[in-house]
Each structure stands twice: as C-alpha cells, then as structure tokens.
C-alpha cells in the first residue's frame, strides 16, 4: 500500500520576530485539522529556500505532533552546503549532489514549476505567521501570543477539557504565599 502524500507549499518569508517554532505550531494546527495520520507530508515551495536546515529539522521533527508518518524536505543546495559545513569533503558532497540530480531528487525551491503530484496540497504564506505557543494540553491548540492572556483567563474556569482547567470562580483570586529565606511572595493563578 502506498501512503498518501500531502504537499505543503510554503510561500513568502518569516518575519524577523517569528521563529521556526511559531511556523511549526501553525503547520501542526493545520495538519491536525485535515488529519494526516498514516500519510507523508512533503514541504515544497519558494518559501523553503529561506529556511535554514535547523528550521527544516524543527518542522520535520514535529511530525509526531502533527500526526504524519513522516514530514520531509527534498534535498536542495542548502542541504549540500550543510554537508560541507559539517565536515564532509568536497568529493563526497559532489557525489551526493550528482546522484540526487541524476535521480531527479534534487530540488531548486526557486523553480516555481516544481510541483509534483500530491494527494492534496496545502499552501501557507509564511509572512502571516505570528509568535505563538501551544497547549496547554495538545500541540495543535496554537495560541497567538497577543491573545494568550485572554485565552488563559477564559480557560481557567472552563470545565475540564482539552483546554479547560475547571478552577472554581471563587478560587481564581486565592493567593498562595511563597517563602524563600527572607523573601516572601504571593502567587495567584497565572502568576507563572
């Protein structure tokens, strides 16, 4: 049985204030929504060229969180550059690149005509990604940092669920006293 392959096209660039973690949380949210269990996810598109190998690794390594069997980025010139930077000799890097090109496994992400046949294609404009966190219980429950305070307050007293904590309204303002040496502090829900 051949698995379905979902093409995930990345266009645009991440803003300077956004990290690959913010990007992968959005990717996880989107892929969980459509369901990719037992499927492969291949990332492509001109936006990939702007991602470092570390960024790509962050996204691929979150594959269990978004539910796919594998998430991968086809090899490009930046991948071969990484091999050089990590001490592989030029002859080895040349052989790798030649082999991949000969077998049509080497990608130029700037080539807009590169669009293999996929079971389904999603597109994400990376310029729309904002700083975010996920949780508190599931990785696909992404929260924009700008709405985190309100989200926390809404879920504090919500019935226990994916996000709700079930704290009684009358307990929300209770203080916990913390002592360390001569220092004394108060903690409430959301202090940390």
**pLDDT score of 50 more than 80:** yes
pLDDT of residue 23: 98
For residues 23 and 138, what is the distance between their CA atoms, to the nearest angstrom? Answer: 16
Tens digit of pLDDT for each residue in 102-129? 999 999 998 888 888 999 999 999 999 9
pLDDT over threshold 90, residue 9 = yes
pLDDT surpasses 90 at 163? no
pTM: 0.84
Look at residue 56 in the predicted model and tell me its pLDDT: 98
User: How far is the C-alpha of 87 from the C-alpha of 106, rounded, in Å?
Assistant: 21
In this predicted structure, the answer to whether residue 189 has a pLDDT above a threshold of 80 is: yes
pLDDT surpasses 80 at 192: no
CA–CA dist 66, 55 (Å, integer): 16
At residue 158, does pLDDT exceed 80?
A: yes
Higher-confidence residue: 89 or 134? 89
Pair of tokens at residue 165: 């904590």
What is the overall mean pLDDT for the chain?
A: 93
Concatenating the DSSP letter of every residue in 135-185 gives -SS-TT-EEEGGGHHHHHHHHHSSPSSSS-----GGGTT--EEEEETTEEE
> Could you tell me the pLDDT band of residue 18, with boundaries at 50, 70 and 90?
very high
CATH class assigned to 5-144: alpha beta
Range with the lowest mean pLDDT among 12-26, 31-45, 157-171?
A: 157-171
What is residue 4's predicted lDDT score, i.e. its pLDDT? 97
In this predicted structure, the answer to whether residue 42 has a pLDDT above a threshold of 90 is: yes
- How far does Cα 152 stand from its chain's mean position? 22
């Amino acid at each position: 049985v051949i698995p379905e392959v979902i093409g995930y096209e990345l266009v645009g660039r991440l803003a300077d204030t956004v990290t690959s973690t913010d990007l992968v949380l959005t990717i996880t949210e989107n892929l969980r929504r459509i369901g990719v269990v037992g499927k492969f996810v291949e990332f492509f598109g001109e936006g990939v060229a702007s991602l470092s190998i570390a960024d790509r690794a962050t996204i691929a390594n979150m594959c269990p969180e978004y539910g796919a069997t594998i998430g991968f980025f086809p090899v490009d010139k930046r991948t071969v550059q990484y091999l050089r930077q990590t001490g592989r000799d030029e002859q080895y890097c040349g052989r790798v690149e030649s082999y991949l090109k000969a077998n049509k496994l080497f990608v130029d992400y700037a080539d807009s005509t590169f669009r293999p046949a996929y079971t389904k294609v999603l597109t994400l404009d990376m310029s729309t990604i904002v700083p975010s966190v996920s949780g508190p219980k599931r990785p696909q429950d992404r929260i924009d940092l700008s709405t985190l305070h309100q989200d926390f307050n809404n879920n504090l007293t919500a019935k226990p669920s994916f996000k709700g904590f079930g704290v009684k309204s009358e307990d929300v303002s209770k203080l916990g006293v913390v002592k360390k040496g001569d220092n004394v502090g108060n903690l409430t829900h959301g202090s940390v």
